[in-house]
Structure 1
């Protein structure tokens, strides 16, 4: 009996491993967010609205697991990218108040949030960062949306 092994399976495993390693490097090289303000966020303009919404929805649901749903005001840098708009909508959908450049009173708990969306090897690496939590994940993007292509990476700080 001859057994023919498919070459696509090892290649898929190597690509997944490469994406996971890239995500780990992306997360390990993150800038910290200081108390002075939020670092600039970035997302490529070529990500479609449906893909941006799918990624933002998944990432915000995972962030809410870490910081609690709707318990604070989230501060974001103003962004007109499809992902920036989808992220703001997803945060509001989870009950968070979102501020971009407004001042808040001292009694309001504000979570500063930054993100990075980075195309890599046919996938997209996404990261959300606060002062205390960083989450990241790789996604496979199509014209109709995006699906997770890796496990969630979570880093808690002090």
Structure 2
């Protein structure tokens, strides 16, 4: 086994691997049985508005690739955090109707959406969950926004 000194560039792949492992662990916690209603969504309030908007915009664009843009009403838990507000704005920007009281008329196709955003090892791990798909990705947060630092993790449910 070769150990790379901490001052060399060799730690970059190790950090990426650690972030990918953490993302896998985060996503594996989602494989529980479905209960009625949304699971609790969470995002740290210290994520800045520009970073929250960058992450939400990227994740919603990837979600739209999976479920189709603007084809349904999305149900979210009410959230006043920067990420919760940015996610709602991004969903509306993609043409989705958004409800936070989880009440619609009986004819409306409703997609329940939950999210988790957690800081990990200098990065932020983000996950969006519906009954049919889970999306996850790691981001590096900067003062101007956030940039993806991992590939998109996608899990489809039957």
Which consecutive unaligned segments of at least 5 residues does structure 2 have? none
1:148 and 2:148 correspond: yes
RMSD, aligned CA: 1.6
Q: Distance in 2 between matches of 1:108 and 1:35?
A: 20
Name the structure 2 match of 1:132.
Answer: 132
Cα 1:12–1:65 change in 2 (3 A) is: same
Helix, strand or coil for the counterpart of 1:37? Answer: coil
C-alpha contact (below 8 Å) 2:76/2:102 kept by paired residues: no
Aligned pair count reads 154
| Range 144-153 or range 33-42, more displaced | 33-42
**Deviations 1:26-74, CA, capped at 9 Å, x for gaps:** 0011165746210110000110000000000000000000000000000
1:104 and 2:104 correspond: yes
C-alpha contact (below 8 Å) 2:55/2:146 kept by paired residues: yes
1:119 and 2:108 correspond: no
TM-score by length of 2: 0.93
Q: Distance in 2 between matches of 1:44 and 1:79?
A: 11
Helix, strand or coil for the counterpart of 1:69? Answer: coil
TM-score by length of 1: 0.93
Which consecutive unaligned segments of at least 5 residues does structure 1 have? none
Name the structure 2 match of 1:41.
Answer: 41
Cα 1:97–1:32 change in 2 (3 A) is: farther
**Deviations 1:56-101, CA, capped at 9 Å, x for gaps:** 0000000000000000000000001000000000000000000000
| Runs of 4+ that moved beyond 6 A | none
